[in-house]
Amino acid sequence: MSSMRIKLLASFLLISILLGCDSEQETTPAPIPEPEKTFNFSFRYDTQSEEANDFELILSNTDGKVLLDTLIAFNTNHSLRLKSGDTKYNLTTVIFDPVIDTYWIKTYIKVNPDKWNLQYYMISTEPVEEEMADITYINFPNTDFYFRTKAITNYSGGFSGSLFDNTLTLTGYDKLLPSDLAYIVVPAQGKYMLTEVTSKQTTVNFTEAGNTVKRKYNRPADITNFRTFVYGFTKEGDPKSRIELYSPIIKESEEYDLQFPPTGFEAFNLRMFYNDAAGYEHTYTYNVKEIPSEVELSPTSDFSVSKSGFEDFMIAFTNDKPSIYNVNWAADDPNYYMRWSIFNSPDETSFKPKAFLEGLKSKKLEGKNMSLFKLFSVSSRKDKDSNYQDILNFSADPSRSFYSEVKQDRVIVKHF
């Protein structure tokens, strides 16, 4: 009997242990798997080229691993997804243009390309109504002059002229319909006139001319080929409203670097160009309501290239760093051409172009001779109020206007 009790007790203990184990397993929640990390973005590439059917889009992570490689159509909104939790990628596009037998490659290092809309071979097709017109200036001085209209500035065109007995007649100039703005300046006298023209025949009395405003700037030493352009905008930010007010065509003077009308415009675009002593090309742009009396012109470049090989590229910057820089490579084969532009942040100063491009294993570039690439040019750009990603977002949004949003801009270029 005692043996029976012992067996029953042992069985009870065993059942209790088993039940206890089952109970613990039921009350312990199963681990919840982490949601898959993804990067969703929209992308578009527009072109008017009928021969370019598609383009290759490649995204790689910052270590160079390819995460996406696809051939997709132009002129279409694409919604894309990557299995990645990163927010920045290396983006490369490859286009082949059979008309000129050229592969166009663009690479953007460490960027977020969401909502980008790039463009290739886009020409404005907006219809423009023009007519040929004549304008006569009476009481006009017997000296050089400079004449422009909005039509001539924005859509090209010309005119023929004759000056006799203080009467200047300009015939066959391009005039917008229904109206245009005619600008004439006599640089030697600092006199100008702005005339709203609404008919094919216009007569203006030049004795009513106003005085221009002149600017003389402190130029860096040892620069060459200095030149300036000024455009006036009757409507701020609207490229169609601009008219050329000053250009190198006007005879240079030691007294001033430019002259312009003090009234009649909501905004101005000022551009200044020169080469420094080391051969770097400088461009300075100001989009302003008033032409500045002082400008910031650098005597030297903000970068220098220490390694220019296709296998190993290295660049250094001064303390006055740019916002972005661009490295351009060119390859010429007897049967095709390749052009590659790399956009990068000044925080990244070294790059191995050959290893990067070969590592992409591009479908469109399969079998192409990468060893042909040689450095063509390097350029830097500094926007007063924009960083690297800001500039790329701006460039990839065709709806935004350079003239209204970019207040001050510096570009420096070195050709190799």
Average pLDDT over all residues of the chain? 91
pLDDT of residue 8: 34
Contact (CB, 8 A) for 322 and 382: yes
In tens, the pLDDT along 54-80 reads 999 999 998 889 999 999 999 999 999
The reply to whether 181 and 228 lie within a common domain is no
Look at the alpha carbons of 133, 137, 142, 148 in this order and tell me if their dihedral is positive or negative: negative
Structural domain contains residue 406: no
Contact 185, 146 (CB under 8 A): yes
Count of domains for the chain: 3
pLDDT band at 52 (very low <50, low <70, confident <90, very high): confident
* Domain identity same for 104 and 142: no
Same-domain pairing of 63 and 93? yes
Residue numbers of the domain that contains 395: 34-123+303-399
The last residue of one of the domains, among 288, 312, 338, is: 288
Q: pLDDT tens for residues 99-157?
A: 999 999 999 999 999 999 999 988 776 788 999 999 999 999 999 999 999 999 998 88
Tell me, what's the pLDDT at 78? 97
Query: Last residue of a domain, which of 147, 180, 211?
Result: 211
Report residue 29's pLDDT band, with 50, 70 and 90 as the boundaries.
low
Cα angle value 8/14/20 (rounded, 5°): 135
- The answer to whether residues 85 and 43 belong to one domain is yes
> Can you give the CATH number for the domain in which 241 is found?
2.60.40
Write the CA distances from 7 to 18, 116, 395, integer angstroms: 17, 78, 85
Q: What percent of the chain has pLDDT over 70?
A: 91
pLDDT of residue 125: 65
Question: 95: part of which helix (H) or strand (E)?
Answer: strand 89-97
d(CA 408, CA 284): 8
Could you tell me if residue 295 is inside a domain?
Answer: no
Mark whether 49 and 113 lie in a shared domain. Answer: yes
Interior/surface letters 371-405, b for 16+ CB within 10 angstroms, e for the rest: eebebeebbbbbbeebebbebbbebbeeeeeebee
Q: Is residue 118 part of a domain?
A: yes
CA distance 104 to 21: 67
> What's the pLDDT tens digit per position in 247-291?
988 877 888 999 999 999 999 999 999 999 999 999 999 999 999
Residues 180 and 220 in one domain: no
Residues 278 and 259 in one domain: yes
Give the span between the Cα atoms of 111 and 109, in whole angstroms. Answer: 6
236 contacts 398 by C-beta, under 8 angstroms: no
- Domain shared by 230 and 204, yes or no: no
Within-domain flag for 10: no
Q: Report pLDDT for 24.
A: 45
Residue 59 is assigned to a structural domain of this protein: yes
Distance of CA 295 to CAs 62, 236, 270, 298, 383, Å? 39, 21, 10, 10, 14
**Does residue 318 carry a pLDDT above 90?**
yes
Q: What DSSP assignment string belongs to 274-294?
A: EE-TTS-EEEEEEEESS--S-
Block residue for tokens 């690479």: 107
Q: State whether 136 and 207 are in the same domain.
A: yes
Whether 64 is in a domain gets the answer yes
Q: Is residue 9 part of a domain?
A: no
The verdict on residue 409 lying in a domain is no
- The backbone region for 154, taken as left when phi is positive above 0, alpha when psi lies in -120 to 50, beta otherwise, is alpha
Same domain, 49 and 107: yes
**Are 249 and 274 part of one and the same domain?**
yes
* The pLDDT value given to residue 12: 39
Residues in Cβ contact with 361 at an 8 Å cutoff, skipping those fewer than 6 apart: 66, 69
Peptide bond into 98 cis (omega under 30): no
Give the domain-ending residue among 288, 321, 344: 288
Predicted confidence (pLDDT) per residue in 207-246, tens digit: 999 999 999 999 999 999 999 999 999 999 899 999 999 9
Residues 77 and 115 sit within 8 Å (Cβ to Cβ) = no
CA–CA separation, 232 and 242 (whole Å) = 5
Task: Quote the tokens at residue 6.
Answer: 């012992």
Q: Is the pLDDT of residue 32 over 80?
A: no
Residues 199 and 230 reside in one and the same domain: no
Question: Which residue has 């609404």 as its token pair?
Answer: 198
**Whole-number Å distance between alpha carbons of 77 and 93:** 15
E-strand stretches of 242-346:
242-246, 258-260, 267-275, 281-288, 303-308, 313-317, 324-333, 336-344
How high is the pLDDT of residue 35? 66
